[in-house]
Amino acid sequence: MSPSHTPGPARELSPGLVLRDVDPPLRLGDFKLIAFDMDSTLINIECIDEMAAAAGRKAEVAAITEAAMRGKISDFKDSLRRRLALLAGVPEQALEQVWRERLRLNPGAAELVQACRRAGLKVLLVSGGFTFFAERVRRQLGLDFARSNQLEIQHGQLTGRVVPQSWGDIVDGAMKRQTVLDCCSLLGCEPAQAIAVGDGANDLAMMGAVGLSVAYHAKPKVRTQAMVSIESGGLDRLLEVVHA
């Protein structure tokens, strides 16, 4: 799948598992890297929406999140800055509450990651979400790499901004793509030997750069462009297509 590629016709391999331009079985061992989006892909929530609940602004923030993920807001950075500005003053402990009470791995996430690691793949989490959650998920699943946005916190409260990093300021679709390509370079593999898994419009750039693109319970724009679309069941349904 490339950015200029016109997806072929869809066919259902089994109920809720739709393929385009791919003929299984594929071998997991032929790939070297798998990259995951975090929010609503590896995990069950959009963290920023749950953080907004602590400020009584979930509806406002969730509406912007939904528009961005559907591709109705083309500038992800702008959409994230708008949402973060609404969270200024949210106490830091609200993040811990979201982690403890709301955040769960999506079904099949651990099983798919374990299968990939057994097959020798490196695993990347690249997220337009936040390091507070991404690092915890990375440790929980034993992932190799993670890149996400660092929230600015002062005096125990969110400022409504992110902290600039050495690589830039905000992980958007272009940065997701670049991060995947950088990991491929680091590993000495071709992008065609990478898999990218996501659910929203800002995942399309990285999905278009790799050999196998996977949509997980995704927005319509993403489902129709992915080579594999998991529309029911867990992430480990990818193993019906790519065998260990």
122-149 average pLDDT score:
97
Cα separation, 86 vs 55, in Å, equals 8
**Three-state secondary structure call for residue 24:** coil
Residues labelled catalytic: 37, 39
Residue ranges and CATH numbers for the domains of the chain are 12-45+105-243 (3.40.50.1000)
For 20, residues 6+ apart whose C-beta sits below 8 A from its C-beta are 7, 8, 9, 10, 11, 226, 227, 228, 229
Residue 187: its H or E element: helix 173-187
DSSP letter at 109 equals H
Among candidate residues 58, 51, 135, the one with its CA nearest the CA of residue 93? 51
pLDDT for residue 5? 62
pLDDT in tens, 63-90: 998 988 888 888 999 999 999 999 999 9
pLDDT in tens, 162-186: 999 999 989 999 999 999 999 999 9
User: Which band of pLDDT confidence, cut at 50, 70 and 90, is reported for residue 140?
Assistant: very high
pTM exceeding the 0.85 threshold for the entire prediction: yes
Both tokens assigned to 30 = 């032929």
- Check residues 69 and 193 and name the one with the higher pLDDT: 193
pLDDT over threshold 80, residue 159: yes
Cα separation, 233 vs 200, in Å, equals 18
For 114, residues 6+ apart whose C-beta sits below 8 A from its C-beta are none
